[in-house]
Structure 1
């Protein structure tokens, strides 16, 4: 099976959840000021689906700037959105020994309605990860009845901008265990431009837990890495995880796709795993890559070999026209009104 790619234009850090036959989609809005949702019966229909804003940044305070990488999850019959928000642009420039980063923290929204487009989205507050520093990109997985949170955060004692951590949850906005360090930027491909491990996503398949993440700066060097554990292992024990020294999903000049990363996983109606990610279609970025809106959400089936290992392949070529200017488009690919 193939899809019309990009599945959604100008939406980075895509998260897709298949629930009761419907695909729910959220991602970073290029204006970084809101959380949006779309839904459709097929991934190919998400581009033309109505986009609804379910939450907007505050006028001031800790949730007032740079709303990044929302993720939609369903836990115990309720909807949750994990997002990163900041009170101002930068946070650690004056911290001795710290790499300069933004000042984000992780926050949680909850909706008890059956339909996430209705009901009330309640702010459950900041996730207390155990220390205050740049934190972002939280994702959730429920395994054997326990919910785990995986996220990226800076530790000023560790060189770089962010590492990957895991903890078991007491409820969807409260950790039950201390944070455990799983990965830090250490390989050449992870430290190009920025020393980063971020954008984690979890796939449980064939008795294994695959934890993907992204490394390097958000331009053409951005790529996906992988940690693997047995599904019956203690996920809070770093020794349970094996880290690949090489990225598993990288730019494909032959297909015109650059900087693939910050992925999520969903599935086809028949149960095949689908890899969802963002990528750009050009290499000449004339502004800060973070503020170039043309990271488009993409999807492709992820096959597995005879031993049950993922065959990551390369980003597939476009089948839908994509913009090349930095103009931010509206939800259906049309220019925003003046």
Structure 2
């Protein structure tokens, strides 16, 4: 069933999002973290008041705007907060993802910084002194823990570590030429941990030690490049899940807008494969999801999805779509949808609500018998 977070069709608020089921010292809760995309400005929204909002509730439904979710927001970070290098983070806070890494609740995201006066190629920078997306890089922050291993309250910003940039094995930035790296996610297979992310318009992967999550342990390798008409220009936003012995890594193709699509690469799970070897990955030659009609309404530019689970353990898909009104782009809106699987073992991301249940099975009857305990 589709479930909508965010604002109305013009003033769309949150995008590039994560819904995450977690237990706070044994208490189940759901978290929603996202990028502010007010009126389509995800670099410097709200006139210099960029932030990274977190919502926490007892159910997914309670995270939504309709259920008062926006009033539950806590800003984990805000414009001007410093990273571990004492650099003020002034914009972006792109694509935050929640994961448990090394036993600690963690946020992977991309902040950006005020642009330099001159670009690396020597040309003047029109974003000098203002948030510049090209200065952004993958960062990690983690929830602090007590000496007994229990977690601090994630709703208090001071309970999180100072964000650190994620560096290559030599301590260098991930993308020294273009600078920008973003959309980082985590996958673990056969006891080995990996980050996958976007840089230079394609998806890269490297291993890391969860005890030292801010440093890679292998050199980045490219595993997905845009090569078809439907994923041209860029491949970004990777996110992985294991199902029936296969790793399903979804990604987004084309640029953000009505052309955004969802692609897929797969690899064997639990067999000790080196996931940094591009040859172990198989790429689907058609999109799993694209612009189209859903429940009688157009959804345009669907993409940047992630896998998650609902209260009953069902697999769900969290993604965003572009919002337009009278031809005007108004940003992106977050959605939640249940995942189904085809008989061929492929995920179905665009099943209509009416298709989820055969009408022949819509009614259930039962007989209850009572017996004397004697």
1:240 to 259, 273, 280: 280
- Alignment partners' CA distance in 2, 1:167 and 1:73: 17
1:267-306 correspondence runs (5 A): 267-282=309-324, 285-286=327-328, 292-293=330-331, 295-306=332-343
- Normalised by the length of structure 2, the TM-score is 0.72
- Alignment partners' CA distance in 1, 2:352 and 2:154: 31
| Contact in 2 for aligned 1:55/1:121 (Cα 8 Å) | no
| Contact in 1 for aligned 2:253/2:263 (Cα 8 Å) | yes
C-alpha distance after superposition, 1:124-174 (max 9, x if no partner): 4211144422211111123333321110012xxxxxxx1101111122211
1:179-258 correspondence runs (5 A): 179-191=220-232, 195-231=233-269, 232=271, 233-253=273-293, 254-258=296-300
The yes-or-no answer on 1:27 pairing with 2:34 is yes
SS at match of 2:252: strand
C-alpha distance after superposition, 1:300-323 (max 9, x if no partner): 111012342212326879xxxxxx
The yes-or-no answer on 1:172 pairing with 2:179 is no
User: How far is the alpha carbon of 1:269 from its aligned partner?
Assistant: 3.0
Aligned residue-pair number:
297
Q: What corresponds to 1:56 in structure 2? A: 78
User: How far is the alpha carbon of 1:285 from its aligned partner?
Assistant: 4.9
User: How far is the alpha carbon of 1:281 from its aligned partner?
Assistant: 4.1
Largest Rg, 1 or 2: 2
Q: What corresponds to 2:306 in structure 1? A: 264
User: How far is the alpha carbon of 1:187 from its aligned partner?
Assistant: 1.3
Q: What corresponds to 2:126 in structure 1? A: none
SS at match of 1:178: coil
SS at match of 1:137: strand
User: How far is the alpha carbon of 1:62 from its aligned partner?
Assistant: 6.0
| Contact in 2 for aligned 1:28/1:67 (Cα 8 Å) | yes
- Alignment partners' CA distance in 2, 1:178 and 1:88: 28
The yes-or-no answer on 1:311 pairing with 2:345 is no
The yes-or-no answer on 1:153 pairing with 2:199 is yes
